Structure 1
Amino acid sequence: MKRLFDIVCSVVLLVILLIPMILIAISVKTSSKGGVLYWSDRMGRDNVTFKMPKFRSMIINTPAMATHLLKDPKGVLTPIGNFLRKYSLDEFPQLWNILKGDMSFVGPRPALFNQDDLISLRSAHGVDKILPGLTGWAQINGRDGLLIAEKVKMDVEYLKRRSFFFDLKILWLTLLDVVKKEGISH
């Protein structure tokens, strides 16, 4: 049921968001140097690496690391980068990953390829056995403000509690967070 939900919703959202995504792409291209999309190597189910696209919100040559670990995160944003991140518009291209089956709407947020501490702790608790998500239990319970151990604790809780209705709850709470712009790194 979860996979069917992911396919149907990602197709519907890709159609609905086609025009806004074209406008975002034009805005990214005309406001800064570099490509429209930034492709990062992320860890998927069973720690298999996949390419995850985002609308580029940072200047080219920004180090590939978690945003909250950058020395000056605001200093590497493009002119429209803060706006894209504030409203999570940079995440729209990940609908493609959901449609392909690399990701789900709900699951642990995919780790960067170089987040060895997060990857190994998730693997030790079996979290690597489920698809990563566009949003997840840790996302709505602290996002980048969580320490690695706390994030994994939330991921393990999701692993134990996961169900279609729990996913719907997480999606609803994510929507509320985006509208209120809570817990979003700028």
Structure 2
Amino acid sequence: MKRLFDIFASAIGLILLSPVILIVAFLIRRKLGSPVLFRQVRPGIHGKPFDMIKFRTMRDAIDDQGNPLPDAERMTPFGSFLRSSSLDELPELWNVFKGDMSLVGPRPLLMQYLPLYSAEQYRRHEVKPGVTGWAQVNGRNSLEWDEKFKLDIWYVDNRSFILDLRILLATVKKVLIRDGISHENNATMEAFKGSQDK
């Protein structure tokens, strides 16, 4: 039932939101240049890699050694708007339609985090990653890593179709009030450096 709902809802979303997607793509191309889409390999269910797609929100800016500048220096006001409004997440509906992701589940993090998890934290990969999730509607990037992982595992243990609907409705509210977009003192979430419970 969850997969059928994902297919139906993502297809309807892609169709209904296609004018918004096209406008955002045009504005990104004009303000940030190309590529319009940001692609990155992320771990899916059981840690299996997949290509996640989002709208680009940062400019290409490097230091004298060719290394990317910190996120805060590459983020533009337009990119911040895309993130705070969650418009940058719209292309992930294609990942949901393909089956790489679900509408609801733990957010897909970085591949380099996989060996850093404790056995309990790794359980977040027992389900497909989601566009939104229990942690996102209970603090999002304002949470500390341990809090976020506990919420992810709670979802894994208590997931249901009704809970997914509750999370989706709560996500709409969170997006409208733009709550929990950034972590304190960081433009984006601070990098995960490993579990203390390994």
Query: Which one of the candidate residues 85, 88, 92 is aligned to 2:86?
Result: 88
Partner residue, 1:18: 18
| Equivalent residue letter for 1:59 | R
Asked if 2 retains the 8 angstrom alpha-carbon contact of 1:38 and 1:54, the reply is yes
What does residue 142 of structure 1 align with? 139
TM-score scaled to structure 2, two decimals?
0.83
Deviations 1:45-70 (A, max 9, x none): 010111111110011267xxxxxxx9
Structure 2 partner of 1:98 = 96
TM-score calculated relative to the size of structure 1: 0.88
CA contact (8 A) 1:53 1:94 kept: yes
- Residue number in structure 2 paired with 1:157: 154
Say what the alpha-carbon RMSD is for the aligned residues: 2.1
Identical amino acids, percent of aligned pairs: 42
Contact 2:61 2:69 in 1 (8 A): no
Which residue number corresponds to residue 165 of structure 2?
168
Question: Are the structure 2 counterparts of residues 169 and 36 from structure 1 closer, same or farther at C-alpha, using a change threshold of 3 Å?
Answer: same
The structure with the largest alpha-carbon Rg is 2
Map of 1:30 onto structure 2 = 30
Aligned-pair CA distance for 1:139: 0.9
Q: Distance in 2 between matches of 1:59 and 1:48?
A: 29
Structure 2 gaps of 5+ residues are: 63-67, 188-198
Kindly indicate whether the alpha-carbon contact (under 8 Å) linking 2:139 and 2:180 is maintained by their aligned counterparts in 1. yes
Please list every run of 5 or more consecutive structure 1 residues that lacks an aligned counterpart in the other structure.
Answer: 63-69
Any idea what SS the aligned residue of 1:115 has? Answer: helix
**What is the aligned residue count?**
178
Moved more, 52-61 or 175-184: 52-61
